Amino acid sequence: MDELQSSEELIFNEEQVKPILQNVVDEVLNKASYDEDLVQQWVDTICDRCMKQMADLQKPYKYIVTCQIMQASGAGLHSSVSAYWNQEEDNMVQYFWPNEKKKDRNNCKMYCIITAVGLFL
């Protein structure tokens, strides 16, 4: 690594990653209505776009991106992530869609949970 890069420039920064997740999910799902036949395509698109945009940050990390989409049918949705890693260098960011600030959240027909993990090389 270039010695001129500060440790701040190298970290897996939530302030950089979360907007990527949010923007990609919003672009893909914002005007969509739940369609079981399209869910796999949406999941693939979201993961691919997030992975590309995080790689474009050119940080020294390996990335893992997961995405779950569920129809809003009144059923419960529970999600958990656990990892054994270096707590000083590795990190994880989750984004829940629609977020609590979305105006029509109560009218939403689906939910999405996206998780991005950065593992320092």
The total of structural domains in the chain comes to 1
CATH number at residue 83: 3.30.1140.40
pLDDT tens digits, 18-47: 999 999 999 999 989 999 999 999 999 999
Helix 39-55 and helix 14-29: axis angle, to 10°? 150
Mean pLDDT of 76-83: 82
1 is a domain residue:
no
Q: How far is CA 53 from the centre of its chain?
A: 11
Between CA 55 and CA 53, with CA 89 as vertex, the angle to 5 degrees is 15
37 is a domain residue:
yes
pTM given for the model:
0.86
2 is a domain residue:
no
CB burial string 99-116: b at 16+ within 10 A, e below: eeeeeeeeeeebbbbbbb
65 is a domain residue:
yes
Is a pLDDT exceeding 60 seen at residue 4?
no
In which domain, by residue range, is 114 found? 7-120
